[in-house]
A and B are shown apart, each in its own frame.
Chain A
Amino acid sequence: MRSALFISANTPSMMLAAHAYETDAIFYDLEDSVALSDKRSARFLLEEHLKTHPLNVPSFVRINAVDHEAFEEDINALKRLNHVDILLPKASVKALQHCLDAYPKARIFALCETSEVFFELPLLAKHPSVVGLMLGGEDLALALDAPKPTHPEALLFARSQLLYAAKAYHKWALDTPYTHFQDDEGLIKDIERAKRLGFDGKAAIHPSQLPIIQSHFSPSQDALEEAQAIIDIHEQTNQVRFSYQGKMVDQPIITKAYRLLKKKDAKP
C-alpha cells in the first residue's frame, strides 16, 4: 500500500473524482473535514455513493472518534452498508475495543495521533482486527507541543515506534500526510525520509500528491528486474547461496526479492 487519498465525504465532486485517481486506497472522511452541522449530510452522501458506485480500490471510512457524538450513527451507517473498513481516529486499545464492540466485523486502520497510544502500540498492532497503522502527524505534534511536525527530527520517536510495531506484526505502516500540498519538493523529502525508515506508503490530502507518492513508493524497474532475476536463479537451481552480477546472494536477499514483487502494488 503506497498511498491512500483522503476525500471529504460531503463533497460530491471529490467523491466522483475519487474514482479516477490512481491510488492504492481511498480514505473517505466523516471526521475533521466535515463540520458538525454537516455530519449527517455527509453520512447520507457516503451511504448513497458507496451503495451505488463502489470503488475498485479498497476504501476505509474515517469515522468520528469513539467519544464523539456522531460515532454511533457513523457505525450504524457502515453496518447498513456492510462496509467493514474503518480508519479509526485517536486510536488506542480502549478505542479499538469500543469500536469492535459496536461493530465486531470491523477491519481497522488505526490512526495513531495521541501521545498515549505510543505506549501501547504493540498491543494495537497485534490485534487481529487491525490491518495497519497510520501516523497522524498534525494532531500528534499538537499533543507534543512540537511546533513543526514536518521537521525531520519532530515525531522521530513516534515514526520509529509505529514502524517497529507495524512490522513486528506484519501490518501496513502508513506515514502522515504532507500538509503543504503545493510544495512538491518538501513532499519528496518527506517521502524519502519515511521510505528510509521502512514505511510502506503515505497518505495524501490532495490528489496532486498521488503521482509523486505512488512513484516514490514503487520499486524501480531495475529493482523489480533484479528481484525477478534472483528469484529465477533461485527457483531454477534451488540454491540459496549464489552470486548475481558480482553480488553475493543469500536467503535474506531472496526473501527480500519475493517480498518486493509481492508488495509492489498490493492493496490493504
Chain B
Amino acid sequence: MIVSGSLESNDCLITLSPAETFGVRLESVVYAAYGKHIEQLITKECEKLKLTNIAVHCQDQGALDVTILARLKEACAKYREGHLHA
C-alpha cells in the first residue's frame, strides 16, 4: 500500500493498492460540488501515468486539482519505486 499527501485542509490523502482492475474511491468534503470532476481527474491522470491494476483511494479535504495531481504523481512515483525494489 502506497500513501501520499495528508488530511490537512486543502490537501488530500491518496492511497494506492494493487487490484484486479482499476478503480477510484473518493471521499470528499466537497463531493456534491466537485465529486464527479475529481473522480474523472483521477481516472484521466492514472491513464496518463499508466496505472492500471490499481485501486485509488482519495480522502479529499478540499484540495485543488493541482494538489490532487501532485499527490497522485508522488503516489505513482512511490509505487514504481516499490515495484523496482521488489
Give the B-binding residues of A (Cβ under 8 A): 11-13, 15-16, 40-41, 44-45, 47-49, 51-53
Could you say which of B63, B73, B74 contacts A12, with CB atoms under 8 Å apart? B63
Q: How far is the CB of B27 from chain A (nearest CB, A)?
A: 17
Selected A-B contacts with CB under 8 Å, 20 pairs: A11-B11, A12-B10, A12-B11, A12-B63, A13-B10, A13-B11, A41-B5, A41-B70, A44-B69, A44-B73, A44-B74, A45-B70, A47-B70, A48-B66, A48-B67, A49-B66, A49-B67, A52-B65, A52-B66, A53-B64
The reply to whether B70 and A16 form a contact with Cβ atoms under 8 Å apart is: no
Report yes or no: A13 in contact with B9, Cβ–Cβ below 8 A: yes
Our pick among A11, A13, A41, A53 for the contact of B66 (Cβ within 8 Å) is A53
Question: Can you name the residue of chain B whose Cβ is closest to the Cβ of A11?
Answer: B8
Nearest A residue to B12 via CB reads A12
**B74 (CB) vs chain A CBs: closest residue:** A41
A11 proximity list for chain B (CB < 8 A): 8, 11
Known: A41-B74, A44-B73. A51 touches B66 (CB 8 A): yes
Do residues A16 and B64 form an inter-chain contact, with CB atoms below 8 A?
A: yes
Note all chain A residues with C-beta closer than 8 A to B9: 13
Q: In the complex, what residues of A have CB within 8 A of residue B77's CB? A: 40, 44
Give Cα A142 to B52, complex, Å.
Answer: 50
Q: How far is the CA of A44 from the CA of B66 in the complex (A)?
A: 9
